[in-house]
Structure 1
Amino acid sequence: MGPLVAFAAITSSYFGHFLGAHEGLVGLIKSRSGSSVSTIEKVSLAFIVVTTWIVAVVNPSILGMIETMGAPMIAAILFLMPVFAMNKVPAMAKYKTSAPVQIFTALCGLAAISSVIYGAL
């Protein structure tokens, strides 16, 4: 009974992600293109199926992908965005720190991002 439940859970999860990704991709292409909706749906369906097939054949490490893609984004959010926001967003100007602190924060963010990129190579 356990394998049947696991299979049903994996299948329903796949279709949930598939339908959401398909609808989002169709919406993005439809807003930028003048093509017919049926053509856009067929092309996006083919793209998603081919991409999924390639990922299934290559079988990458999911945790490695999350680490490789997530760590730079988290570093950018934690280190780079506050420095940018303090300088560009008027409401954040009251939180502005000294230039050496901002430079240090930005350098730490760039170091975190570059270490992940270097590790991926």
Structure 2
Amino acid sequence: MAPIIAMIAITKSFLGHYLGAREGFNGMVIKSLRGKGKSIEINKLNKITALFMLVTTWIVATLNPSILGMIETLGGPIIAMILFLMPMYAIQKVPAMRKYSGHISNVFVVIMGLIAISAIFYSLFS
């Protein structure tokens, strides 16, 4: 019974990810085509999307990248952007937070955020 439940769970997980990714990809393609004044049939777009997903999945399965390495490489800088840089951006752009601008500590926070984000460039080029 357990293998049947596992197969159903794997199938549902795949379909959930695939359908969500397909909808997102189709939305981006339709939006970019609409901006250029063009359109595409949904059936044709679904076939293109399926082919794109197949090729992309095949390439990823062949290259077999380390997902933990990717999370480690990208997670830190993204968290640094959220914790360090976005508040400093908000201080400059949001009128209610403007009273916090002009402090020397803001420069320190931005510098520390940039140092934390620089880890992604170090890992890419080393």
TM over 0.5: yes
1:76-91 correspondence runs (5 A): 76-91=81-96
Residue aligning to 2:75: 70
Q: Is the 8 A contact 1:26 1:44 kept in 2?
A: yes
Residue aligning to 2:36: none
Alignment RMSD? 1.8
Q: Aligned pair in 2 of structure 1 residues 3, 59: CA closer, same or farther (>3 Å)?
A: farther
**What SS is found at the alignment partner of 2:61?**
helix
* 2:47 corresponds to 1:37: no
Output the TM-score relative to the length of structure 2.
Answer: 0.82
C-alpha distance in structure 2 between counterparts of 1:86 and 1:40, whole Å = 42
Residue aligning to 2:28: 28
* 2:100 corresponds to 1:92: no
* 2:7 corresponds to 1:12: no
Q: Is the 8 A contact 2:77 2:119 kept in 1?
A: no
| Gap regions ≥5 residues in structure 2 | 34-38
Residue aligning to 2:117: 113
C-alpha distance in structure 1 between counterparts of 2:122 and 2:6, whole Å = 37
Percent of aligned pairs with the same amino acid: 48
Structure 1 residue corresponding to 2:105, chosen from 98, 101, 106: 101
Q: Is the 8 A contact 1:83 1:102 kept in 2?
A: yes
Q: How far 1:68 moved relative to its partner?
A: 1.7
Q: Aligned pair in 2 of structure 1 residues 53, 109: CA closer, same or farther (>3 Å)?
A: same
Q: How far 1:52 moved relative to its partner?
A: 1.1
How many aligned residue pairs are there?
Answer: 120
